[in-house]
Amino acid sequence: MPSNEVIIRVQNLKKYFPIYKGFLVKKHVADVKAVDDVSFEVKRGETFALVGESGCGKTTTARVMLRLIDPTDGKIEIMGTDISRLSREELLPFRR
């Protein structure tokens, strides 16, 4: 039976990719909302899966959670520590 200890908490996660127009002078014209306001918790002992249609943001969500790419907004907690804005060096203990 899973315990109530939350080991991963994702709150209001967003990842937007900017779209620019222009050659010499680039102007931000829009954003692609790859992940928009995703929240969930994973408790110790639980099995968790991200499922959905092709292109719905599953891989981007995982890449942001692993901090391979930075989130636009939101919070990612691992064992109670917010890793959303940690530096590369500060992330090392979480990647081991």
Mean pLDDT of the chain: 93
Q: What is the pLDDT of residue 1?
A: 52
Burial of 13 (0-12, 13-18, 19+ CB in 10 A): buried
Q: What is the pLDDT of residue 2?
A: 52
Phi, psi of 19 (to 5 degrees): -115, 125
Binning pLDDT at 50, 70 and 90, where does residue 37 land?
very high
Task: Determine how many CB atoms are found less than 10 A away from the CB of residue 58.
Answer: 15
CATH superfamily name and code, 6-95: P-loop containing nucleotide triphosphate hydrolases (3.40.50.300)
Binning pLDDT at 50, 70 and 90, where does residue 82 land?
very high
What residue segments make up the domains of the chain, in order of their start? 6-95
Q: What is the pLDDT of residue 20?
A: 96
